[in-house]
Amino acid sequence: MEQAGHEHVTDPTGSADAAVSLSPTAVARVKVLLAREGRADGAGLRVSVVGGGCSGMQYSLGLEDAPTADDQVLEIGGVRVFVDSASAVYLGGTVVDYVDGLHGAGFKFVNPNAQRTCGCGSSFAV
């Protein structure tokens, strides 16, 4: 059931019109995290942009039980993704990936809007 005030997009990979898309590895990791936390059906991943970081803005990820009235709600590979309208402006076309390598594991952002990013990849400037 769709809630009033929410734009709901169902797409297994995300789309060019969506604020963000998730790689298959990111989808799998979010599913593991939601299950580990015992989140109820309808819970999802919040992707947002907040002020701060060494480049001026930084990405924020979190698990939430439900979207807010201001959220774009995406369903990507069976994962609900919540993006507020202010963050969507900066995230358009961003791909969230999950990498697991010798230097650690974590979510990686590939944002075509970023003019400058920091070395850690968690902050950017537009």
- pLDDT score of 18: 76
> Tell me: the pLDDT tens digits for 108-125?
888 888 776 655 445 444
Of 49, 54, 53, residue with least CA distance to 90: 49
Helix (H) or strand (E) segment spanning residue 26: helix 24-36
> Tell me: the pLDDT tens digits for 55-87?
678 889 999 999 999 999 999 999 999 999 999
Q: What is the pTM of this model?
A: 0.78
At 6, the pLDDT band (50, 70, 90 cuts) reads very low
CB 34 within 8 A of CB 43: yes
Q: Enumerate domains of the chain plus CATH numbers.
A: 7-125 (2.60.300.12)
